[in-house]
Structure 1
Amino acid sequence: MTCARMTTILAAVLAALRVAATGSAAETAPASLRLVYDAPAADWEREGLPIGNGAMGAMIAGGVETDRIQFNEKTLWTGGPGAEGYDYGLPNKSMAGEVRAVARDILENGPMAPEEAARRLGRPMRGYGAYQSLGELAIETAGGEVSAYERDLDIERAVARARFRKGGARHERVYFASYPDKTIVIRYAADKPGSVSFRASLAIPENRSAKVEAAGNRVLAKGALHDNGLKWAASFVVLAEGGSATASDDAIVVEGADAATIILAAGTNYALDHPRYRGADPAADVLARVEAAARRGWKALLDRHADDHRSLFRRFSLDIGQKPPAATTDALLAAYPALDEAARRWLEALYIQYGRYLLIASSRAGSLPANLQGVWNNSAAPPWNADYHVNINLQMNYWPAGPLNLIETALPLFDFIDNLAVAGRASARKIAGASGWAVFLNTNIWGFTGLIDWPTAFWQPEGAAWLCRRYYDYYLYTHDIEFLRERAFPAMKEAARFWLDRLVEDPRDGRLVVVPGFSPEHGPFTAGPAMSQQIVHDLFRNAADAARLLGEDAFAREIEAALARLDPGLRIGAWGQLQEWKEDLDDPNDDHRHISHLYALYPGEQIDALEDAAFAEAARVSLDARGDGGTGWSKAWKIGLWARLLDGDRAHKLLEEQLKDSTLPNLLDTHPPFQIDGNFGASAGVAEMLVQSHRGLIRILPALPAAWSDGEARGLRARGNVELDIVWRDGKAARIELRPGRAGDYHLYTDIFEGAFAVEDLSAGAPVAVAGEGRRRTLSLAAGRRYAITVREE
């Protein structure tokens, strides 16, 4: 953006805010959580508005004469079974001997260059594939003078719109992706009868066969990818109100209608079933979805969609003193540093809720998990294949699910990991000569768990262990013991078995270490880098706890014995930093975007600011040295890290940096390019500012920034299966409401307990006994009731 353009935008925004402050424009201010723009999107990545139902996604540009709705179906991938050379990333014969040889070289000779490690252990990717765009729904209308254009995305209802005046009529176009009806729905309407006319057709990329048929008011397209033979299908039907909708060649032409509704569905014959990954031909299912939705009609489709979305989205609300300003979202973002406080808070609150919106849109039960771009991609060769990286990115996608009350959105991740664990047994055996399962850095929808040969990003065998943290976290948030027994623990146990086989005794001190080990994505290969040790420590501790809960005492004892010998990955170096490597190799001038050695602080819990002052201070020194820069996901991680260090102002500064430098005009995170984990990580980081619940202690407002001195957060969740509302005034908690999902003791830490306070059972109208002293108290609560903790006036 040029300086002149920035100045123009800033002046316009500030003028709009001055008008809003006088009250003369109050009626035009957005009343709900909306992204608003005054022109169609000219750039898919920067300006398109995303809608999604988990399996399908679309980017809304809102063009007038040509409205191109680029859409995706998450299982449409090249590569995998059927693609030339695909081998799941696995060698033909065991590599265990060479892995042991590299480990010996590192232990005997010291650090190894990544290029040498990749030469000896890496493998070229064959047939890996990439996530694909399914195509575009192109809707063409007659030209004419357009005025009063507005495009918006209401994230509370998950509905996008484009509105404008043309030809003496006010036109409105509505777009949403319905989870209940598994379709994308578009409606064209106008306030002047007979004003809706268009031609709708599908544009399909050339890397596949395609047969397109139009009959009556419906189009069906189907074919197969050239690369792997994966079958695909897409269909849409047009329901005209007044006028006509008829087939013409491979399109549907609407003439003289009052309104028209387009219902679109798509699918493939992919199945999440290792090793074949193929299911039924998709055409019949796609047609059935379109026809079922068409029978419901426009109003029922909209209502079912909005009710479904709101049932998730409305669980959480945040009031930090924001007021909706009368300005477009892109202009607000460009002027963010100069906005008044209420407008800044508006953009911050919108951004946090946008992360929740994107998670709902890109991860619903029955679909694959959110990938590097969620569910949205317009390229045959997207960045990083739009795949799943397990050295932080896939895990970060699901950090908000627990604390921001969207725990069901993690279910696709567990389906995916269940399948990945089956595929990963071969990787554990063939690459490392170990039992259990492993995945080494990146994966696709085809069960890739092996190796690539990129020197600084190919070796991360702790990926499976880190994924298992998501399993155990789900249990901690829900206390679903059947989930723990049937799904979480089996995956955790096998991942732990891998490390019981793979850990090596360091001759220098007799501790068990990961070797070869690598700290993403810089530095040498070493023995026992901090992140590797911390992740394995995390897995062992969680697996032992789970085993005890399930009565697997023999396994618990085995894990606990190994845990006692495991190098914990925590050391304080020469300049007071938390060491990234077992050797003191850290450079105080290193500002690399990865801060891998701080895993123990967040999302792990080996370091706790309340209880581990020395290590917490060392983490602070390291974080200060790395600085506040980095890519979007890096800044997002730092929000959570500073929150865990109880520094709300610094966490808020990182949120500001995220908005200023790592957010596109449509509020998507940019690496660059667009990468969705920054959106998810930042929203999760804000949750850590408001409530933390690691180590069995629920901390209320642990990192509240001075900028948010008064506010309310409703519908937060904490580990232990409890929902919370928090009201604060002058930077201190004033009222906490608890809604437990289980009966038992809850351990809380809040400044309310420092003075006179009351705890009341709101369901029974009775007081509640409280144990403990100071800020830390224990409350014994019953499931299904409401409790309030309030400051009591003396």
Structure 2
Amino acid sequence: MKKIILLALLFEFLIASSQNGQNLKLWYNEPSGKIWENALPIGNGFLGAMVYGNVENEIIQLNENTVWTGGPNRNDNPKALAALPEIRKLIFDGKHMDAEKLANEAFISKKSHGQMFQPVGNLNLNFEGHEKYSNYKRELDIEKAISKTSYVVEGVTYTREAFVSFSERVIVIHLTADKKASISFTANYTSPHKIKRFAVSGSKDLEISGTTSDHEGVASLIKFKGITRIKLDKGTLEQTENSLTVKGANSATLYISIATNFNNYHDVSGNENQRALDYLNKAFGKPYQKLKKEHILAYQKYFNRVKLDLGTTSAVNLPTDERLENFRNTNDPQFVALYYQYGRYLLISSSQPGGQPANLQGIWNNNLNPSWDSKYTININAEMNYWPAEKTNLSELHEPFLQMVKDLAETGKETAKTMYGARGWMAHHNTDIWRATGAVDGAFWGLWTAGGGWASQHLWDHYLYSGDKEFLKDIYPVLKGAALFYVDFLVDHPKYKWMVVNPGNSPENAPQAHNGSSLDAGTTMDTQIVTDVFNTTIRAAEILKEDATLIDTLKGIRSRLAPMHIGKHNQLQEWLDDIDDPKDNHRHVSHLYGLFPSNQISAYKTPELFAASKNTLLQRGDVSTGWSMGWKINWWAKLQDGNHAYTLIKNQLTPLGVNRGGGGTYNNLFDAHPPFQIDGNFGCTSGITEMLIQSSDGAIHLLPALPDVWSAGTIEGIRARGGFEIVEMVWKDAKIYKLVVKSTLGGNLRLRLPNSMKEKSGADLEIAKGENPNPFYFVNETVEPIISKESTIKLLELKPTFLVDISTKKGNMYTFVSK
């Protein structure tokens, strides 16, 4: 009894204390109709659903995270190794298009180009006689992860609540009315799959089963099973061959379970039927209100860690679609906070420990043939999905992506050996649930060898935030393997004598000087990623006291890598030669990887490269695809230009079709590439965080890119490297008035502040000197850039800051106030 009372008290406390009373809801006064991008997403990392909120013909579109086409397979091209010397020679000789033609034959997969994430189908709820309604409203409460639809028919108020349980593996839909015996509807499944079956069991369970599609020569081995069971308060439940009809109930609760036979990327021997039944039976015994409370508690364990308050205006009273329409022309700071938290909501809902990583659409997809297969594009998009994980206090939700990287380190060994004759492991620009590592989609896009190297940096990032040395020991072989691949793969450039990646490219872009070919040797991004791979492996080996000989080897090769270049247009060069076009507005600005998410370009350590990065961004322009604008927010934050970062937020939070030639945002606040890609949501959430806190450049920099419109605000719960948590930061007139920091690991706390502060006791803070002694804030030195003789690069003027050091002890809290 005491346990139940304590649970109830905790539940009430969490609800009462959530988000300082801010209204974190997406809401609308019209149904979705037939438009999927109007529907509202719910999920628990394993199951996803889109709730349309239609009155007479409700649609609940269903996804399960392992419903993918195909089965275990490989897609390496065995011709690659023999062709590698010739392709390298062609590139060095300036015959880029000839190299690309040969690469299409010898490197690009002749098997699968990656399998597809597919939907299960729809659960349809038909309410006869509800075509004439009033007082309609639908909403998604992202504080509780619950969708709600309400309306009135003939004086009766009907309410539907839906959530994907975070405590059970089921979707729950609860139907009520304010007049008894008013709930009547028919439920049935539909599915776009070719191989499918609908049935009603003897126990009146509505069932859907099927097999995903064969794709690109890979036979499908994935079988799925979905079961809907209805619990009634009064009323009757009738069945047909493939539907259930409820008549005259006071309320009805639908429990939906979905499962597949997928165990892991090389094992599909599970029993989808038994799994679905087990999930359903476990949840069905619980009353709706108990399930709902448990769900909210489990969800808010993650969501309530971070609170953001940028102020509120009267715009908060408008429906979400109207606020989206108005945002670029009005002041609606709470809309930014809503969108920020929506990004966290989407990550919590699409990525949970033990599940699959959030894919190109998170966990929500209604198409058998989704754009880009809705898989994992690892030349930016999959990484961007996880940029908010550590910094917005969702570290556990990083696990599915980190596990995928460990999987790729296994499957990628054969690719490294077969295609490149190299040790270690590698992956190209795309992968899927089967952890494919071959080159796909054509040499222009697919002959990029840095996918594994970039993804591996997330393992290191997790260590820097958590300080978990056991984790570092576990993932060190993955870091080492990524480095060994480059040890064997790098070659000497015959003209410049640096060691370079060849073949390589700067993702999805091509200079006019190469006649439309993307292939090149020594592109800036390739070298930046190799530098990071070597830096992190060296640091990890030193911490773990491993591989002294390898450390020497990596340091030796690192010293021979090409430095970054500043070109004649005062830009950071994208290619080794000075061939950038200042009128190029390509969506990828990949060579700014060194600015973010890497820290090779710094305001304080590499001022010329810092200024060149700004020039590159200005030349590329603001409006682009949705995810590209999301990345640009992070870059402008790193450039300490809050107003320009905010301009990109306004561009991104613009209805699709308004930004000429670019993306934007759908009515349900999904990011529009277009079409929908979830990476832009996550990129923007990351960027907003970077505007408020950065911790990659030797210190915790607070309010580095505060726009004028956010002159006052509060944030709680965001995290910095080295185990520091910003428990509370309050600012006004762009100055920090109160700061509370928790040190979970101890060690030196170096703060870069916009104004002078003191300890709560009144004691002055020690002015920082030299390098930060905290090992989590070690920053590798970047080689001096080579600057074109035609360049007239001018350094940027930075805002003055106060750099201070505080010695901290593990587990203690530290409070500072403005002077």
C-alpha distance 670-453 of structure 1, shift in aligned 2 (>3 A): closer
Q: How many angstroms apart in 2 are the aligned matches of 1:115 and 1:609?
A: 37
C-alpha distance 33-57 of structure 1, shift in aligned 2 (>3 A): same
The residue that corresponds to 2:802 in the other structure is: 775
The residue that corresponds to 1:178 in the other structure is: 165
Q: 1:648 aligns with which of 633, 642, 646?
A: 642
The residue that corresponds to 1:320 in the other structure is: 310
The residue that corresponds to 1:5 in the other structure is: none
The residue that corresponds to 2:687 in the other structure is: 685
Q: How many angstroms apart in 1 are the aligned matches of 2:407 and 2:738?
A: 44
**Residue 288 of structure 1: CA displacement?**
1.0
**Residue 209 of structure 1: CA displacement?**
3.4
Q: How many angstroms apart in 1 are the aligned matches of 2:113 and 2:739?
A: 54
Q: 1:371 aligns with which of 359, 367, 377?
A: 359
Instruction: Tell me, yes or no, if the aligned pair for 1:512 and 1:565 is still in contact at 8 Å.
Output: yes
Instruction: Tell me, yes or no, if the aligned pair for 2:100 and 2:519 is still in contact at 8 Å.
Output: no
Instruction: Tell me, yes or no, if the aligned pair for 1:178 and 1:305 is still in contact at 8 Å.
Output: yes
Q: How many angstroms apart in 2 are the aligned matches of 1:379 and 1:171?
A: 31
The residue that corresponds to 2:665 in the other structure is: 663
Q: Which letter maps to 1:223?
A: G
Instruction: Tell me, yes or no, if the aligned pair for 2:479 and 2:537 is still in contact at 8 Å.
Output: yes
Q: 1:493 aligns with which of 480, 485, 499?
A: 480
The residue that corresponds to 2:64 in the other structure is: 73
Structure 1, 188-197 or 547-556: larger mean CA deviation? 547-556
Q: 2:31 aligns with which of 33, 36, 40?
A: 40
1:748 is aligned to 2:738: no
Q: 1:108 aligns with which of 93, 96, 108?
A: 93
Instruction: Tell me, yes or no, if the aligned pair for 2:79 and 2:107 is still in contact at 8 Å.
Output: no
Q: How many angstroms apart in 2 are the aligned matches of 1:432 and 1:477?
A: 34
Structure 1, 376-385 or 102-111: larger mean CA deviation? 102-111
Secondary structure (helix, strand or coil) at the match of 1:209 reads strand
**Residue 279 of structure 1: CA displacement?**
2.8
Q: How many angstroms apart in 2 are the aligned matches of 1:172 and 1:113?
A: 64
Structure 1, 314-323 or 766-775: larger mean CA deviation? 766-775
With normalisation by structure 1, the TM-score equals 0.91
C-alpha distance 201-429 of structure 1, shift in aligned 2 (>3 A): same
The residue that corresponds to 1:535 in the other structure is: 529
The residue that corresponds to 2:128 in the other structure is: 142
Q: Which letter maps to 2:431?
A: T
The residue that corresponds to 1:215 in the other structure is: 202
The residue that corresponds to 1:758 in the other structure is: 758
Instruction: Tell me, yes or no, if the aligned pair for 1:216 and 1:247 is still in contact at 8 Å.
Output: no
Q: Which letter maps to 1:60?
A: V
Q: 2:221 aligns with which of 205, 210, 229?
A: 229
Instruction: Tell me, yes or no, if the aligned pair for 1:210 and 1:224 is still in contact at 8 Å.
Output: no
Structure 1, 153-162 or 608-617: larger mean CA deviation? 608-617
**Residue 602 of structure 1: CA displacement?**
0.4
1:564 is aligned to 2:559: yes
Instruction: Tell me, yes or no, if the aligned pair for 2:444 and 2:519 is still in contact at 8 Å.
Output: no
**Residue 244 of structure 1: CA displacement?**
2.4
Q: Which letter maps to 2:36?
A: E
Q: Which letter maps to 1:89?
A: N
Q: Which letter maps to 2:325?
A: A
Unaligned runs of 5+ in 1: 1-29, 82-86
The residue that corresponds to 1:54 in the other structure is: 45
Secondary structure (helix, strand or coil) at the match of 1:315 reads coil
The residue that corresponds to 2:818 in the other structure is: 791
C-alpha distance 766-280 of structure 1, shift in aligned 2 (>3 A): farther
Q: How many angstroms apart in 2 are the aligned matches of 1:149 and 1:171?
A: 10
Secondary structure (helix, strand or coil) at the match of 1:749 reads strand
Q: How many angstroms apart in 1 are the aligned matches of 2:350 and 2:213?
A: 27
Q: How many angstroms apart in 2 are the aligned matches of 1:206 and 1:580?
A: 44
Q: Which letter maps to 1:389?
A: T
The residue that corresponds to 2:501 in the other structure is: 514
The residue that corresponds to 1:8 in the other structure is: none
Q: How many angstroms apart in 2 are the aligned matches of 1:65 and 1:588?
A: 54
Report Cα offsets for 1:629-683 as digits up to 9, x if no partner.
1100000000000111111111111011101241111110000000000000011
**Residue 114 of structure 1: CA displacement?**
7.3
Structure 1, 244-253 or 700-709: larger mean CA deviation? 244-253
Report Cα offsets for 1:339-368 as digits up to 9, x if no partner.
3x2xx2121111111111111111011110
The residue that corresponds to 1:676 in the other structure is: 678
Corresponding pairs, count:
743
1:434 is aligned to 2:434: no
1:390 is aligned to 2:393: no
Q: How many angstroms apart in 1 are the aligned matches of 2:735 and 2:87?
A: 54
Secondary structure (helix, strand or coil) at the match of 2:63 reads strand
With normalisation by structure 2, the TM-score equals 0.88
Equivalent residues in 2 for 1:265-414, closer than 5 Å: 265-274=257-266, 277-323=267-313, 325-339=316-330, 341=331, 344-414=332-402
Report Cα offsets for 1:513-541 as digits up to 9, x if no partner.
00111111111311100000001101111
**Residue 575 of structure 1: CA displacement?**
1.2
The residue that corresponds to 2:6 in the other structure is: none
Secondary structure (helix, strand or coil) at the match of 1:475 reads helix
Q: How many angstroms apart in 2 are the aligned matches of 1:101 and 1:320?
A: 57
Q: How many angstroms apart in 1 are the aligned matches of 2:263 and 2:764?
A: 52
Instruction: Tell me, yes or no, if the aligned pair for 2:316 and 2:335 is still in contact at 8 Å.
Output: no
Q: How many angstroms apart in 1 are the aligned matches of 2:561 and 2:667?
A: 47
C-alpha distance 687-31 of structure 1, shift in aligned 2 (>3 A): closer
**Residue 553 of structure 1: CA displacement?**
4.5
Q: How many angstroms apart in 2 are the aligned matches of 1:306 and 1:109?
A: 60
Q: How many angstroms apart in 2 are the aligned matches of 1:655 and 1:226?
A: 39
The residue that corresponds to 2:580 in the other structure is: 586
The residue that corresponds to 1:204 in the other structure is: 191
Unaligned runs of 5+ in 2: 1-20, 215-219, 511-517, 770-800
**Residue 338 of structure 1: CA displacement?**
3.2
Report Cα offsets for 1:706-726 as digits up to 9, x if no partner.
111111111111011111021
**Residue 31 of structure 1: CA displacement?**
5.4
Q: How many angstroms apart in 1 are the aligned matches of 2:762 and 2:724?
A: 20
Instruction: Tell me, yes or no, if the aligned pair for 2:711 and 2:731 is still in contact at 8 Å.
Output: yes
Q: Which letter maps to 2:193?
A: E
Q: How many angstroms apart in 2 are the aligned matches of 1:282 and 1:726?
A: 48
Report Cα offsets for 1:227-263 as digits up to 9, x if no partner.
2132211111101012123433222221111111101
Instruction: Tell me, yes or no, if the aligned pair for 2:765 and 2:804 is still in contact at 8 Å.
Output: no
The residue that corresponds to 1:613 in the other structure is: 607
Q: How many angstroms apart in 2 are the aligned matches of 1:681 and 1:43?
A: 28
Q: How many angstroms apart in 1 are the aligned matches of 2:62 and 2:507?
A: 33
Report Cα offsets for 1:740-771 as digits up to 9, x if no partner.
11111121111233xxx3224xxxx8969735
Instruction: Tell me, yes or no, if the aligned pair for 2:27 and 2:140 is still in contact at 8 Å.
Output: yes
User: Percent sequence identity over matched residues?
Assistant: 36
Secondary structure (helix, strand or coil) at the match of 2:391 reads coil
Instruction: Tell me, yes or no, if the aligned pair for 2:193 and 2:213 is still in contact at 8 Å.
Output: no
C-alpha distance 466-790 of structure 1, shift in aligned 2 (>3 A): same
Report Cα offsets for 1:547-572 as digits up to 9, x if no partner.
1111114132222222112224x110
The residue that corresponds to 2:255 in the other structure is: 263
Instruction: Tell me, yes or no, if the aligned pair for 2:265 and 2:433 is still in contact at 8 Å.
Output: no
Report Cα offsets for 1:34-77 as digits up to 9, x if no partner.
01111110244320100011011000101111111011001111
Q: Which letter maps to 1:732?
A: K
C-alpha distance 786-678 of structure 1, shift in aligned 2 (>3 A): same
Q: How many angstroms apart in 1 are the aligned matches of 2:586 and 2:762?
A: 54
